[in-house]
């Protein structure tokens, strides 16, 4: 009987272990900076602009703002290309429109 009890508790424990590990939302409190990319004019490389404030510091987005930023971003001042390429003019950029892509995580 003792062994059956042990087995039962092991089963219950393992189910509890698994259910405690499942995650419906792994990123609710996550914050990150974003960058915008586009294919280069030759089609053989790509350009990337980090979304920064007027001081050149990365803007950090959190939660719903982060999700929205991934979809569309409005920038008020031109952004510098990370490898010295052409600047990105101020304006609204939407993910996968006009060749632009928005990524909100580190490379």
Partner 1 sequence: MKKFLVLSFLMMNIFTTYSQTRGIVLGPNNMPLNEVNILLLDQNIILLSNEDGEFITELDIPNNSYISFFKAGYLSKTLVHKEGKDLKIILEKLHVILDEVGVSESIYELGNSKLVNLEKKLLSSMKTQSMVDDIAEISGVDVISSGLGIQKVVVRGLSGMRVVTYLNGMQINNQQWANDHGIGFTDLGLSEVELIKGASALKYGSESIGGLLYFKDDPFIASDKLKGFITSRYNNSSYLSSSKFGVKWNRKNLYFNLYGQYSLSSDYRLPNARFLNNSRFQQNAIKFSLAYSHNNWQNIFRYHLHEETAGIPGHVHTSDLQAVNILDITSPNLDLLILEGKYPNLNFGTDFKPYRPTQFINNQLLIYETTYMLNNFKFDIYAGHFINNLKEYERWGKPSFDINLSNTLFTPNIRYNTDFFNLNLGAQIISQKNINNEDYRLVPDASSFSFGPYLIIDYVKDNIGINAGVRYDNKNLKTNDQILNIDYENRFSSTSFSSGIYYKYIDHIFRFTYSGAYRTPHFSELFSDGVHHGTNRYEIGDSKLNIEYANQLDLKYQWSNDHFGFVLNPFIQDISDFISIEPTDSVASSYKVYKYRQYDKVNINGLEMNLHYHPHQLHNLHLEQSYSFLHAVNKESKYGLALVPANRIKNKILFSFNNYKKIKKYKFEYLSLSHMHKFKQDNYAEYEEATNAYNIFNLQIALKFSSQFYFTLSLNNLLNETYTPHVSRLRGVAGGVPNPGRFLDINLKYEF
Work out the number of other CB atoms within 10 angstroms of the CB of residue 35: 20
Residue 47 CB, nearest approach to partner 1 (Å) = 9
Residue from 12, 14, 58, 94 touching partner 1 (CB under 8 A): that is 14
The reply to whether 17 sits near partner 1 by the rule CB under 8 A is yes
Residue from 52, 60, 80, 103 touching partner 1 (CB under 8 A): that is 103
The reply to whether 104 sits near partner 1 by the rule CB under 8 A is yes
Print the SS3 string covering the chain: CHHHHHHHHHHHHHHHHHHHHCCCCCCCCCEEECEEEEECCCCCCEEEEECECCCCCECEEEHHHHHHHHHEEEECCCECECCCCCCECCEEEECCECCEEEECCCC
Instruction: Kindly tell me which of 56 and 67 has the beta carbon lying closer to partner 1.
Output: 67
Where does this chain bind partner 1 (CB under 8 A)? 3, 6-7, 10-11, 13-15, 17-18, 21-22, 26-27, 30, 32, 35, 37-40, 43-46, 48, 66-67, 70-71, 96, 101, 103-107
């Amino acid at each position: 009987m003792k062994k059956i009890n042990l087995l039962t508790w092991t089963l219950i424990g393992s189910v509890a272990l698994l259910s405690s590990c499942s995650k419906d939302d792994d990123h609710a409190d996550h914050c990150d900076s974003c960058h915008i990319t586009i294919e280069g004019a030759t089609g053989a490389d790509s350009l990337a602009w980090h979304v920064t404030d007027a001081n050149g510091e990365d803007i950090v987005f959190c939660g719903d703002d982060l999700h929205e930023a991934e979809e569309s971003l409005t920038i008020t001042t031109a952004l510098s290309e990370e490898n010295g390429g052409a600047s990105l003019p101020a304006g609204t950029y939407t993910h996968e429109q006009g060749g632009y892509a928005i990524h909100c995580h580190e490379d």
